[in-house]
Structure 1
Amino acid sequence: MTQIVATTPGLFPLPDWAKDELADLKGHQKTDLISGDESAAVEDAYDRVRTELIETQADAGLDRTVEGQGRWDDMLAHPLAVHDEVETRGIVRYYDNNNFYREPVVQGDLGADGGDVAADLDAAADHVDEGLQAVLPGPYSLADLATDEHYGDDAEFLSAVADFLAEEVRSFPEVETLFLLEPSLVENAPEGGADERASAAIDTVANAVDAQVVTHTYWGALEEKVYAHLMDADVDAIGFDLIANHDKNVYNVQEYGTKDDVALGVVDGQNTLVEAPETIRDRIDWFEQQTNTTYETVYATANTELFYLPVNKFTDKLEALANAADLEEVEA
């Protein structure tokens, strides 16, 4: 019997009060909040955001709890945007949508830099008894979102980004699951040997943590060669976006197989229509039927980050995911 684990890829929308308060504290427009050095008042606001986001997940009944990434104003680029050897420059479009981040330009060695993400996880761990889940950009996506003015070689830069993320992971408190978010594997598919290097970079990060590691891909389906190399990565599960392209994702699994566990993007992280728990279960069942496999664990998740959604719809979608997992328990 498949275990269904209700979870998310993190990056939640800020509560409305926090948008206003942080905009006032930072002296910037709501759409241009700046990450990095923060006053005590800003830190306090983010602490309250974190607590509220964790309570929201607990109230919804999710099986895994993320920190919420309220401070990630630069979205997946955040871990580099706050690094001492990185200069943040102009505003860049975040993939092909109406969200933006500051371009992180790497100007020095990406050594360990204080464990920014680890510190947030430490704070989250104080409020979570079990099921803490870490969220990081995958090394390929983080390198893709950044600009290199130091290493001068794409392969060396990717390796450096992977080593940096691995050092960050080694500073984590105990977590049950790590989601590595890799939309760039779909949006800007690696070619000419870079696909194999991307898999090796993911290995570097995955091997640094004693937890279940999920490489979650979204905004479409992976090209076949990229998928085949990702299958070589030492991760516990690969994520499939069934909202953006269910047929091609199923084809990849039919053709090349997958891990014993999978993550399925069965809730639309960019659309305000709230899926019924029965619809979510149907999507999971359909995937198992099409791939002719009963998986040990299915991580039922939103296909993308959730910061695109209004807070009320975000909350409703968390509850739908949790209720879908409970349906499995009732039927078992």
Structure 2
Amino acid sequence: MTEHVATTPGVYPLPDWAKGDLADLKGHQKHDLVDGDEGEAVTEVYEQAREEVIDSQQSAGLDRVVEGQLRWDDMLAHPLAVHDSVETRGIVRYYDNNNFYRDPVVTDDLTFDGDIAGELDAASEFVDADELQAVVPGPYSLADLATDEHYGDDDEFLDAIADFLAGEVEAFPEVETLFVLEPSLVENSPDDGEDERASEAVDAVTSAAPADTDVVVHTYWGALDEKVHAHLLDADFDALSYDFVSNHEDNLYNINEYGTKDSIAAGVVDGQNTLVEDAEAISDRADWLQENTPASDFETIYLTPNTELFYLPYSTFEEKLAALGEATDLAEVKA
């Protein structure tokens, strides 16, 4: 029988009180707060906010709990933005929306950092290892968001990003699940030849996770090009994610035409729209997926928002978590 797992791709909005406290502490807007060396007062705000978002996930009945990535003001670019070998420069539009991040310019070798592992260590004080989920940007997306002034070659730069992320993953504490976020595979699809290298880069990161960690590659904002999809399936991971909010027809076509992994992650909650879906409607989307993939008998279906959730007002974010948790329970009952 298929197991249904409620989870999210992380990168959450800050609680409203935390936004105010951080702005007061720093005297300017939150986007400029994170430089990897926060003072004690700022660190305390993030610690309290982390506890709050962990409690929100647990109260909502999610099966996997993320740290929240509340310090990721630069969204998926964060692991580079706080690295000693990277300079953050001008403000750049984050994909095709009204969010912005600081351009991370790589100026030296990308050595081990451990920033994400530290966040997970902090989260593990409140979450059991069999419920804890790690989140990292995928290597193709992180390379796409960054600027290279050191390696001098696109292929070498992608390999360096993949090696850097693999080293970060190897340092993680015990986690049940790892989500690797790869929106650029859809938004800035690799060309012929590059698609295979992108898959190899993803493989380098996913293979760094312990053998007993379930790894999900989370793509969104549309559907993968057919060749990109086919090459990506060659990488070593457990589940590929499909955005059924943005483009259900092409994603369904890719699954039925080319197959997928033994498990799947389904983006069935809109991570950007403030309209809160009904739990029954979310559960029906999971039913629709199984009914329309007759060749697939998935081991696990991860039900998740399609995108990161930092776009949402905090109260809406909490409502979406609650609806997702309830919907997954309904899907399990139906199964």
Query: Shared fold (TM-score greater than 0.5)?
Result: yes
TM-score under structure 1 length normalisation? 0.98
Task: Give the aligned residue type for 1:222.
Answer: L
Aligned with 1:328 (options 323, 328, 331): 331
Structure 1: stretches of 5+ with no match in the other structure: none
Give the structure 1 partner of residue 247 of structure 2.
Answer: 245
- Distance in 1 separating the partners of 2:132 and 2:333: 24
Secondary structure, counterpart of 2:292 in structure 1: helix
Give the structure 1 partner of residue 262 of structure 2.
Answer: 260
Give the structure 1 partner of residue 320 of structure 2.
Answer: 317
- Distance in 1 separating the partners of 2:333 and 2:216: 26
- Conserved in 2, the CA contact under 8 Å of 1:35 and 1:72? no
Task: Give the aligned residue type for 2:299.
Answer: E
Structure 2: stretches of 5+ with no match in the other structure: none
Structure 2 counterparts to residues 153-192 of structure 1, below 5 A: 153-192=153-192
Higher alpha-carbon deviation: 289-298 or 154-163: 289-298
Give the structure 2 partner of residue 33 of structure 1.
Answer: 33
- Distance in 2 separating the partners of 1:159 and 1:30: 32
Give the structure 1 partner of residue 66 of structure 2.
Answer: 66
- Distance in 1 separating the partners of 2:157 and 2:254: 29
Secondary structure, counterpart of 2:136 in structure 1: strand
Secondary structure, counterpart of 1:213 in structure 2: strand
- Conserved in 2, the CA contact under 8 Å of 1:250 and 1:291? yes
Give the structure 1 partner of residue 9 of structure 2.
Answer: 9
- Conserved in 2, the CA contact under 8 Å of 1:182 and 1:218? yes
Give the structure 2 partner of residue 121 of structure 1.
Answer: 120
- Distance in 2 separating the partners of 1:307 and 1:285: 27
- Distance in 2 separating the partners of 1:34 and 1:99: 16
- Distance in 2 separating the partners of 1:313 and 1:227: 32
**TM-fit CA distance, 1:34:** 3.0
TM-score under structure 2 length normalisation? 0.97
Give the structure 2 partner of residue 307 of structure 1.
Answer: 310
Task: Give the aligned residue type for 1:303.
Answer: N
- Conserved in 1, the CA contact under 8 Å of 2:89 and 2:102? yes
- Distance in 1 separating the partners of 2:287 and 2:32: 41
**TM-fit CA distance, 1:107:** 0.3
Structure 2 counterparts to residues 179-258 of structure 1, below 5 A: 179-210=179-210, 211-258=213-260
Q: Once the two structures are aligned, what percentage of the paired residues are identical?
A: 68
Task: Give the aligned residue type for 1:92.
Answer: V
Task: Give the aligned residue type for 1:150.
Answer: H
How many pairs were matched up? 331
Structure 2 counterparts to residues 41-120 of structure 1, below 5 A: 41-113=41-113, 115-120=114-119
Secondary structure, counterpart of 1:291 in structure 2: coil
CA offsets per residue over residues 274-314 of structure 1, 9 Å max, x none?
Answer: 11111111111111222212311000000000011111111
**TM-fit CA distance, 1:31:** 4.4
- Conserved in 2, the CA contact under 8 Å of 1:26 and 1:34? no
Higher alpha-carbon deviation: 173-182 or 185-194: 185-194
Give the structure 1 partner of residue 272 of structure 2.
Answer: 270
